[in-house]
């Protein structure tokens, strides 16, 4: 099984935030499994203690069992299991394997941080219970001396082990926080994309159009440049939905938006601002130039064939209104002018391009 598959166990059907926590839990479980496995090899090969190695290998399998909980969909149970195993393991390490001079109980510091990072915000009970347990167990291990450890270590070895625990603690904290920060950044990008994109066509939505369009118009006015708007609306779109159904209607919107987008320049802003209403903001474009582009779009739309499974294909048309930003300071005003031109196009029989004139 690939590492990526293990990391994604239990991640299906969850929100962005929950997805990040699930993946991070799986990553931490895998890292802890590897670290515990290396300790098992150390007890067996370097310290020649098969009893401790066997016990520790059992804990290694227990860490890996976290992924089995995830596979079954027991997300909260998997997290609780992992931290419970970790705390019991640290207790055994400190009070059975060796003594508190080894510093194993310092790993308890990771539990509160991990609990608050990995559990959902509404799972405060689990967060507080695990954090409280980790603090209590740390104090117990810190103040309890194991007089009969299974492994006798000299002061130098204990000091070396103590330093390794501190080092691993620091590495794990940095690693986990780095992954978490990347997940947050990824989620923020996805949320930003969703907030600014029309889910059907993948174009900019109405909110994005006004946000970016106002910036474009302000920039154009500042440089004394002309910006034009091309507003288009499908002709008799309701009849398409009534005859073929909304699924075909949505297909029509997607197909036509692709055709129009193929004509748009990289600097143009193409957005869906209504059901079947689209707009293109075209910087550095005067009224005549925008008219020529709109005419190309109109012709391309009218010739594009919309495929229908099991039925005859059909074509559709759109009407276009064009306005230019001469002496216009507000995008809303420019859009209203384009809308008036669009209304004229509808009045002229549709499937045509009309320019706004004061």
Catalytic residues: 276
Cα-based distances in Å from 151 to 41, 52, 88, 148, 160:
14, 8, 18, 9, 15
Question: Are the C-beta atoms of 187 and 13 separated by less than 8 Å?
Answer: no
Question: Are the C-beta atoms of 221 and 325 separated by less than 8 Å?
Answer: yes
Length, in residues, of the chain = 358
CA atoms of 74 and 237, how far apart (whole Å):
48
Cα dihedral 143, 146, 151, 157 sign: positive
């Amino acid at each position: 099984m690939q590492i990526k598959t293990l990391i994604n166990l239990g991640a299906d059907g969850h929100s962005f935030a929950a997805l990040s926590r699930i993946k991070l839990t799986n990553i931490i479980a895998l890292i802890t499994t590897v670290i515990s496995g290396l300790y098992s090899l150390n007890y067996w090969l370097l310290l020649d203690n098969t009893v401790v190695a066997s016990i520790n290998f059992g804990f290694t399998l227990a860490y890996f069992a976290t992924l089995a909980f995830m596979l079954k969909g027991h997300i909260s149970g998997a997290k609780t299991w992992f931290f419970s195993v970790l705390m019991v393991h640290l207790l055994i390490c400190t009070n059975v394997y060796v003594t508190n001079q080894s510093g194993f109980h310092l790993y308890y510091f990771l539990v509160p941080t991990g609990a608050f990072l990995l559990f959902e915000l509404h799972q405060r009970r689990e967060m507080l219970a695990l954090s409280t347990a980790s603090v209590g167990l740390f104090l117990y291990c810190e103040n309890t001396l194991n007089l009969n450890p299974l492994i006798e270590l000299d002061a130098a070895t204990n000091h070396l082990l103590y330093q390794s625990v501190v080092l691993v603690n620091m590495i794990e904290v940095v690693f986990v926080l780095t992954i978490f920060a990347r997940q947050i950044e990824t989620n923020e990008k996805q949320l930003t994309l969703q907030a600014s994109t029309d889910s059907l066509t993948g174009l900019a939505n109405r909110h994005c159009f006004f946000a970016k369009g106002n910036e474009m118009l302000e920039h154009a006015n500042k440089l004394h440049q002309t910006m034009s708007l091309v507003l288009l609306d499908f002709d008799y779109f309701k009849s398409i939905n009534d005859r073929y159904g909304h699924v075909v209607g949505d297909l029509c919107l997607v197909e036509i938006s692709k055709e129009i987008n193929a004509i748009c320049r990289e600097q143009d802003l193409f957005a869906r601002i209504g059901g079947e209403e689209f707009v293109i903001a075209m910087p550095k474009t005067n009224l005549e130039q925008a008219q020529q582009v709109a005419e190309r779009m109109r012709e391309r739309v009218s010739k594009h064939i919309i495929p229908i499974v099991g039925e005859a294909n059909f074509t559709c048309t759109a009407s276009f209104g064009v306005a230019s930003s001469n002496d216009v300071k507000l995008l809303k005003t420019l859009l209203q002018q384009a809308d008036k031109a669009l209304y004229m196009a509808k009045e002229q029989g549709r499937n045509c391009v009309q320019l706004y004139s004061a």
